[in-house]
Amino acid sequence: MTTIGFIGGTGEEGMGLAYRFAKAGHACVIGSRSIEKAQGAVAELREKDAALDITAATNADAAAAGEIVVVTTPYAAQEDTLPPLAAAVAGKTVVSTVVPMSFEGGRASLLSVPEGSAAQQEQALLPGATVVAAFQNLSAKKLLKGGPLEADVVVCADDAEAKKRIMTLAAGIEGVRGVDGGALANAQMVEGITVLLVSINRNYKTQAGIRIAGIA
Amino acid sequence: MTTIGFIGGTGEEGMGLAYRFAKAGHACVIGSRSIEKAQGAVAELREKDAALDITAATNADAAAAGEIVVVTTPYAAQEDTLPPLAAAVAGKTVVSTVVPMSFEGGRASLLSVPEGSAAQQEQALLPGATVVAAFQNLSAKKLLKGGPLEADVVVCADDAEAKKRIMTLAAGIEGVRGVDGGALANAQMVEGITVLLVSINRNYKTQAGIRIAGIA
């Protein structure tokens, strides 16, 4: 059992991951700028399952409480949200689920990030943490709905031990396999896959995921 | 039966696709700057199966002969190779398999392309053609080896009919499914997947492919 803090955890992605991690036996702390908003998200998840260990907090308290800290803010928010949390997450594994995506004329496109990827930007904003990129390609709707997902989570990091830890965390979600995606810089390509899936979801009216075929 | 011309078809990717398309009953014309090199590639493929309809040509003749023209040059070569072929491919469907990738210190990384992707650059270089991006994620080694692949081919194009045609062509490769990847601009993300697969291949000592899970 690990305590997992969520930064900006009141959106679908944060709530969906907290739901699944809590179901797998972890303690989840949903952080938000607004404690009321965090409490609302927790109340919603408790309606699904009152036994889940999910609590509400400010982002600062979620960052302090988490042994692992998961960033589920929108891309546009992380430059403001993360720097004040740098001290609280120093020495910890921080998970970037963020996708730098914009919607224009109904089309999703990948934003160019000066650091290469949202995950690398996160690492630059939180220099004392060990950033691991993961979970970007999971459908938030499917996470929240419950039931097995049919998807791989490609995990990218420069620290082998932190990467392994998050691959194991991913594999705790029913139907999910953690795949070693190499260095943190590879997060750029994994973030891009989400943009592609958004387009595929629209064409096929589904919530698609990816599988890496041909690995044991 | 369609005649398929290959531009820069003597590398593993071109040879592998020509082998599979010829096995599916199409006539393939392998183009190269050097006709001798093209003849060498054809001889190699005929050793696998003497009945295959594969012939050698210059790039210009392959571009002229193909009803569909497949570009399998390295990314760095397409800016020089393609403009002289623009008239020959005008009005035709041109398939971009190209990935803008560099290797530094043993690590693959995605190059930034001014047009957004190698496929969009190809469209800019061949303004009279209809460019469709596909096949970037297939293992050339597995294509050449024979046997069923375990992979989806994500097909991106702005022209719905040309996209459909290439999705059907892809599905003619044993084990492969064509997936509608949306607009040509989405090729950027599909090209990136190849870079990710290169890293995964190295970690897992395999030739991986991708599957889109959750679509019918």
Residues in chain B closer than 8 A to A195 (CB atoms): 186, 189
N- to C-terminal Cα separation, chain A: 27
Chain A 79-108, CB below 8 Å of chain B: which residues? Answer: 107
Are B9 and B20 a contacting pair, CB within 8 Å?
Answer: no
CA distance B5 to B11: 14
The whole-number pLDDT of residue B86 equals 98
Strand partners, A53: none
Provide the CA A151 distance to its chain's centre, in angstroms.
15
Structural element, H or E, at residue B31: strand B27-32
Question: B139 Cβ partners below 8 Å, 6+ apart?
Answer: A214, B149, B151, B197, B201, B207, B208, B209
DSSP for A28-78, please give it: EEEEESSHHHHHHHHHHHHHH-TT--EEEEEHHHHHHH-SEEEE-S-HHHH
Find out whether A97 and A104 touch, Cβ atoms under 8 Å.
no
Rounded to two decimals, the ipTM of the complex is: 0.94
φ and ψ of B212, to 5 deg: -90, 115
Residue A208's φ and ψ, nearest 5 degrees, are -85, 160
Instruction: Using alpha carbons, select from A69, A76, A162, A79 the residue that is nearest to residue A121.
Output: A79
Cβ A200–B193 below 8 Å, yes or no? no
CB contact under 8 A, B181 and A199: yes
Lookup: tokens for B152: 């989806």
- Across the interface, do A185 and B151 touch by the CB < 8 Å criterion? no
Average confidence (pLDDT) over A70-90 = 97
Distance, CA of B216 to CA of B213 (rounded, Å): 9
pLDDT tens for B25-37 read 999 999 999 999 9
Q: pLDDT over 90 for what percent of chain B?
A: 97
Instruction: Report pLDDT for A106.
Output: 81
Q: Return mean pLDDT, chain A.
A: 97
For residue B70, name the pLDDT band (cuts at 50, 70, 90). very high
Mutate to test the interface with B, among A193, A201, A202 (most CBs of B within 10 A): A193
User: CB–CB of B185 and A150 under 8 A?
Assistant: no
Q: What is the pLDDT of residue A216?
A: 77
Mean pLDDT for chain B?
Answer: 97
What count of Cα atoms within 13 Å lies in the side-chain half-sphere of residue A187? Answer: 30
**pTM confidence score:** 0.96
Q: Using a CB-CB distance cutoff of 8 angstroms, which residues of chain A are in contact with residue B202? A: 182
* Residue contact A212–B210, C-beta within 8 A: yes
> Is the pLDDT assigned to residue B216 strictly greater than 80?
no
In which region does residue A60 sit, left (phi positive, over 0), alpha (psi from -120 to 50) or beta (all else)? alpha
Beta pairing, strands B130-133 & B93-96: parallel
Determine phi and psi for A103, rounding to 5 degrees.
Answer: -115, 125
pLDDT tens per residue, range B73-131: 999 999 999 999 999 999 999 999 999 999 988 889 999 999 999 999 999 999 999 99
